Amino acid sequence: MGILRMGYIHTRVTDLAEAKNHYANTLGLYETHAEDGKVWYKGWDEWDHHSVVLEEGGVGVVKYGFKVQYLEDIDRIEKKAQDFGAKTERFSAGEVAEVGDGLRVYPPSGHVFEIYHEMTSWGLEVGTHNPEAFPRHLVGVGVPGLDHSLLTCEDVGLMEKFLAEVFDFYTAEKVMSSLDDDADTLGVWMTPSNSIHQLAVIGGPQGKLHHFAFQLDDWAEVLRAADLFTMDDVSKDVGPTRHGITRGKTVYFFDPAGNRNEVFAGGYMAYPDRPCIIWTADQLGKGIFYHDRELNERFTTVLT
Amino acid sequence: MGILRMGYIHTRVTDLAEAKNHYANTLGLYETHAEDGKVWYKGWDEWDHHSVVLEEGGVGVVKYGFKVQYLEDIDRIEKKAQDFGAKTERFSAGEVAEVGDGLRVYPPSGHVFEIYHEMTSWGLEVGTHNPEAFPRHLVGVGVPGLDHSLLTCEDVGLMEKFLAEVFDFYTAEKVMSSLDDDADTLGVWMTPSNSIHQLAVIGGPQGKLHHFAFQLDDWAEVLRAADLFTMDDVSKDVGPTRHGITRGKTVYFFDPAGNRNEVFAGGYMAYPDRPCIIWTADQLGKGIFYHDRELNERFTTVLT
Amino acid sequence: MGILRMGYIHTRVTDLAEAKNHYANTLGLYETHAEDGKVWYKGWDEWDHHSVVLEEGGVGVVKYGFKVQYLEDIDRIEKKAQDFGAKTERFSAGEVAEVGDGLRVYPPSGHVFEIYHEMTSWGLEVGTHNPEAFPRHLVGVGVPGLDHSLLTCEDVGLMEKFLAEVFDFYTAEKVMSSLDDDADTLGVWMTPSNSIHQLAVIGGPQGKLHHFAFQLDDWAEVLRAADLFTMDDVSKDVGPTRHGITRGKTVYFFDPAGNRNEVFAGGYMAYPDRPCIIWTADQLGKGIFYHDRELNERFTTVLT
Amino acid sequence: MGILRMGYIHTRVTDLAEAKNHYANTLGLYETHAEDGKVWYKGWDEWDHHSVVLEEGGVGVVKYGFKVQYLEDIDRIEKKAQDFGAKTERFSAGEVAEVGDGLRVYPPSGHVFEIYHEMTSWGLEVGTHNPEAFPRHLVGVGVPGLDHSLLTCEDVGLMEKFLAEVFDFYTAEKVMSSLDDDADTLGVWMTPSNSIHQLAVIGGPQGKLHHFAFQLDDWAEVLRAADLFTMDDVSKDVGPTRHGITRGKTVYFFDPAGNRNEVFAGGYMAYPDRPCIIWTADQLGKGIFYHDRELNERFTTVLT
């Protein structure tokens, strides 16, 4: 009951042909629809119609979709959003392609969030009867599905409050300016579920995208992904390495438009009763890149 | 809201000294208490006081504990259990060592389930401030924590109904005698969360334990565990291999008393809106042991 | 100077079409030639024309090829073979397809060995200038190349003597009936190089093939191979597991004709000054299958 | 017949206590002797008395040892070295601790090479009878042994000629200024065996050490090593990543004195008949760091 997960991300890309090559041939997403300068994708282990929408023209994130378990969850979130003071608007089935009746919410981060309960079902690529462990003929990296996103906004603490109060997310890990009582919240890794993070927030300009991530199974797949990025001339940012925050194994890279992507494996199961992990600003480098123990400048400055 | 996870398993062992050697020195659990022929353990990545309780005398499972998110969840489950026709009884803080007020429920499988909201906090071994990725000096396999259990009972379908209606579990995967409408349910893999399974049920005698499992991070750790089992003369059952059901990577083995254990890595994130995977009896071998594609006799006959 | 490696194995298969599907589509070997009921294969990381030759009609090994570093090595081996009392015969360039002038030797095991210095060059699939780490589009398991073979004969000690004296192989590991001075040699793992074994010999019928193996990089690739064998309905024998002998990680399986194959990863670098590892018959199970610690009957009885 | 491998490296360290902590507690080498400001180490999978010698006072490499298969190889190398014009001198058993009679050679790179046939035997940590796959209680990273070294000198082409003519090494991979006939040789990766490299040479000051490397089994161990380096505050240089050259997986890091170390896993089996891989200067970044595809300044400037 409540939000199940980040169900889709809709992003802009400067050149759709280049982007399709990247997301389909290198990452191995399955195209489920294309129309009017847009293309819809899903991973092989996803069952809904899409988890990624690309739209030609510019860069950055147009909007995020969050799927709820029950139709009534939409009403509840609408009420909470309005109580919080966030603008909302309803949309009807079909207004958002392949998506049922839903709610658009404008959180304090300057992004657009869509809440929905229904999306056209597409089915798992391995089927549901006596399935194989993965599709026999994967393309490229063969990502199973979307994982999470990191966005920026001016007031991280306010956005954490919004996600906690309106979306019932909890904070699995956070970065504080210090351990003092009046310390500032510099970043939060939040989730409504056992996924270690569905949405993370760090300080920066309003409405910007830091990255969105695809799942991988393990460290061996992270290496193979990094190898394929070299073969396919994908612009790599950082990795393979481990995050201190979440413990996940990772490669950051850029799509041809310059949007930062990630492949992410591992990380522990989050629970609301698990102690929240606190990182302090002086250890942020280790928190983000566990092996390098320092940030590179790109990490904090390149946003779309 | 509702059950977070299987929080503990309390089992009997024939010889406590041998069992301690197995669970502490080979598996690497941390002993948090010992008293009167009992010992309490937690994994390094668990924060509550214990997830495993051993009691000298016999074999098999004494009872399972399930932790709920809110105190009110206990009332709700009590009501539902009574509606279902299951016997329940309340227990007070301290009656179960280190556990707060709770509810004992007697499901149709012949087992004993304890529902609780509070357990004495012990803390993560890596701490909560700028933690390392894992403890620098792990012992043996170094399992981070308890994962799930498989139990047997005479009426799998009835037990599935109990777990769905009373515990709000859903079925991620199941084994059916066939794809016919009137097919029998031979096994169910159920969860209240994104964990691919917290409790699985297959047909067999009432009140028996098939195995309980500890988490591992990935396939590399599964190999290392199997290697250590050989070095420590642990009685191995099956593996390393992959399950078709859940896709998890696994080794089955026995503790010195003969209770079956498992180390389990991977498996996808479960979601209540994900299509339930159906295995048919003729493919059960592949479902259980994806590589061998056949069961060995021990798997279905050795229970404690 | 001397034998570089086992360069090829020439085997019989009952049905060439089925065999081609197995070796090309599942294992991912590259076909370099086909003619008259025969097909020639190489792995992506091999540079000579072929390492596997299949010939329709029956099962088992027709002959093995061993490549020498210098042309003069052939003369030297001929002399030593004759001194040993082994029958030899010369063959001219072209008699063996794509192979230069060479020597056929009949070792005491009842097999046929061909010694050669030249084979038509085919080239690495990744090329030799600024190569990628592996081909971008591998098929199936994508084995890089042939690794080693295990054969049977009646007198293991005599065959070890032949390989040591005539081929300058040394014994990296061996299985003895006991640690007594007069113990029998039950098996030997021998090599002319740092490869942990190029040819292993165990007791059994003359002239038989136990298995031949393909290289894999690591334990992650061993899992993926086992997964693909399930998807492609390959008859699996044993694994994934580790050998005690050589420490290699392995899956044994059968080609459609019933010849046993292996995928093999790891194992340490052998050196002639490294102490020879001795396994005793009572620990043979652990030596062969480190995790199971016991042999299955198939391992010792199914030969081709 | 000839050089088996680089058997030891003797280096200087500024502070022996710090160095011992690094090589013994973090890397897990076994101390076999200590005396007069020196300490001798071996890895768990090495059988000779030592592979690393540390000497307090300064940084950089004092000398390298190369073990030959036969005593006569020393005479042969002496003759060839003198023919090449290199200065040589004999040393007697015991002059170099735990080493038998040998030959000191002064190659054109400005380093000191010792050729020896005998070293006091210490034995494998797992023994030679029915051994376990690795020691049950490894310390830290638990490196099995020394792998290779990269040194610098002014004339790479001349040093390649020396290693080829005097040591019978061959070049597995090399970096050329271009593909033109008169291109300069910028770096060579050379070996006398199937080890992908025992000694690599790049242009730079005479007599300097770029790094020496320890073996690891696979990519999973590379991650664990990188994790432990963070926990133990080891100064990391680059990685985890893959090399284009050799395909090996790697982490570069520094000992407390500032000598660069590496942990290295994988890489293919080298053969003298395998085509030599040529990298061109414009692709050097990809050759060294396959994922980043660019060098950092430290890589070419920090030497000891």
> D235-253 as b/e, with b when 16 or more CB fall inside 10 Å?
ebbbbbbbbbbbbbbbbbb
CA distance D90 to D82: 12
> D123-146 as b/e, with b when 16 or more CB fall inside 10 Å?
ebbbeeebbbbbbeeeebbbbbbb
Strand partners, C251: C263
Q: Give me the total of CB pairs closer than 8 Å, taking one residue from chain A and one from chain C.
A: 23
pLDDT (mean) for B283-299:
95
Q: Give percent above pLDDT 70 in chain A.
A: 100
pLDDT (mean) for D120-132:
97
Residues 6+ apart with CB under 8 A from C95: none
Plot region of D240 (φ>0 → left; ψ -120 to 50 → alpha; else → beta): beta
pLDDT given at position A121: 97
Residues 6+ apart with CB under 8 A from A94: none
Q: Does D133 touch chain B (CB under 8 A)?
A: yes
Do residue D268 and residue C129 have CB atoms under 8 angstroms apart? no
pLDDT given at position A1: 77
Query: Subunits touching C (CB < 8 Å, at least 3 pairs)?
Result: A, B, D
CB B68 within 8 A of CB B80: no
Do residue C132 and residue A230 have CB atoms under 8 angstroms apart? yes
Angstroms from A128 CA to nearest CA on chain C: 15
Q: Is D17 exposed, middle or buried (0-12, 13-18, 19+ CB in 10 A)?
A: exposed
pLDDT (mean) for B204-228:
98
Indicate whether B195 pLDDT > 80. yes
In the stretch 82-121 of chain B, residues with CB closer than 8 A to chain A read: none
What parts of chain C have a pLDDT lower than 50? none
Tell me the angle at which helices C71-84 and C156-165 cross, rounded to the nearest 10 degrees. Answer: 140
Nearest residue to C179 via CA among C271, C283, C272, C289: C283
Of B240, B242, B286, the CB nearest to C291: B240
Nearest residue to A147 via CA among A27, A3, A265, A272: A265
pLDDT given at position B173: 98
CB B295 within 8 A of CB B186: no
pLDDT given at position C138: 96
CA distance D226 to A292: 9
Of C247, C279, C283, the CB nearest to D133: C247
Query: Subunits touching A (CB < 8 Å, at least 3 pairs)?
Result: B, C, D
Angstroms from C171 CA to nearest CA on chain B: 25
pLDDT (mean) for B273-291:
97
Average pLDDT over chain C, rounded to an integer: 97
Known active-site residue B111: no
Q: Number of H helices and number of E strands within chain D? A: 6, 17
Q: Is C285 exposed, middle or buried (0-12, 13-18, 19+ CB in 10 A)?
A: middle
For B235, other C-beta atoms within 10 Å of its C-beta total: 14
pLDDT given at position B300: 86
pLDDT given at position D17: 97
pLDDT bin (cut points 50, 70, 90) of residue D1 is confident
CB B108 within 8 A of CB B29: no
Measured between beta carbons, the chain C residues lying within 8 angstroms of A44 are: none
The alpha carbons of chain C give a radius of gyration, in whole angstroms, of 18
Q: Does A286 touch chain D (CB under 8 A)?
A: yes
Q: Does A136 touch chain C (CB under 8 A)?
A: yes
Of A47, A128, A274, the CB nearest to B278: A128
CB D77 within 8 A of CB D84: no
Angstroms from C115 CA to nearest CA on chain B: 38
Domains assigned to chain B: 3-116 (3.10.180.10), 146-301 (3.10.180.10)
**Active-site residue, from C148, C210, C221, C290:** C148
Indicate whether A168 pLDDT > 80. yes
pLDDT given at position A53: 98
Q: CA quadruple B155, B159, B165, B166: dihedral positive or negative?
A: positive
Q: Does A298 touch chain D (CB under 8 A)?
A: no
Average pLDDT over chain D, rounded to an integer: 97
> At C7, which amino acid appears?
G
Measured between beta carbons, the chain A residues lying within 8 angstroms of D293 are: 230, 236
Question: What are the Cα distances from residue C43, in Å, to C8, C124, C232?
Answer: 11, 9, 19
Indicate whether A36 pLDDT > 80. yes
pLDDT bin (cut points 50, 70, 90) of residue A199 is very high
Known active-site residue B148: yes
Query: Among C70, C132, C273, which would you mutate to test the D interface (most chain D Cβ atoms within 10 Å of its Cβ)?
Result: C273
CB D67 within 8 A of CB D13: no
Query: Among A26, A218, A224, which would you mutate to test the C interface (most chain C Cβ atoms within 10 Å of its Cβ)?
Result: A224
Nearest-10 Cα torsion for B7, B9, B15, B16: 20
**Active-site residue, from D46, D111, D211, D290:** D211
pLDDT given at position C297: 87
**What DSSP line would sit under A183-205, residue for residue?**
PPEEEEEEESSSSS-SEEEEESS
Q: Give percent above pLDDT 90 in chain D.
A: 98
Q: Which long-range contacts (CB under 8 A, 24 or more apart) does D83-88 make?
A: D83/D165, D84/D161, D84/D162, D84/D165, D84/D166, D86/D162, D86/D166
CA distance A197 to A269: 10
pLDDT given at position C284: 96
Quote the tokens at residue D226: 């990188």
pLDDT (mean) for B46-54:
98
CB A34 within 8 A of CB A98: no
DSSP state of A125: T
CA distance B96 to B74: 16
Of B230, B242, B293, the CB nearest to C291: B230
Angstroms from A52 CA to nearest CA on chain B: 18
pLDDT given at position B1: 77
pLDDT bin (cut points 50, 70, 90) of residue A300 is confident
Q: What does the pLDDT look like over A82-121, one tens digit per residue?
A: 999 999 999 999 999 999 999 999 999 999 999 999 999 9
Known active-site residue B50: no
DSSP state of A109: T
Which segments within A84-177 are labelled E, that is strand?
87-91, 102-106, 113-116, 146-153, 170-176
Indicate whether A297 pLDDT > 90. no
In the stretch 214-233 of chain B, residues with CB closer than 8 A to chain D read: 218, 220, 227-228, 230-232
Known active-site residue D211: yes
Residues 6+ apart with CB under 8 A from C184: C156, C157, C176, C177
CB B142 within 8 A of CB B202: no
CB B99 within 8 A of CB B119: yes
Active site residues per annotation of A: 148, 197, 211, 243, 252, 262
Q: Strand, helix or coil at B179?
A: coil
Q: Give percent above pLDDT 90 in chain A.
A: 98
Do residue A240 and residue D241 have CB atoms under 8 angstroms apart? yes
Of D227, D242, D286, the CB nearest to A242: D227
pLDDT given at position D300: 86
CB C216 within 8 A of CB C265: yes
**Active-site residue, from D197, D210, D221, D290:** D197
pLDDT bin (cut points 50, 70, 90) of residue D128 is very high
Query: Subunits touching D (CB < 8 Å, at least 3 pairs)?
Result: A, B, C
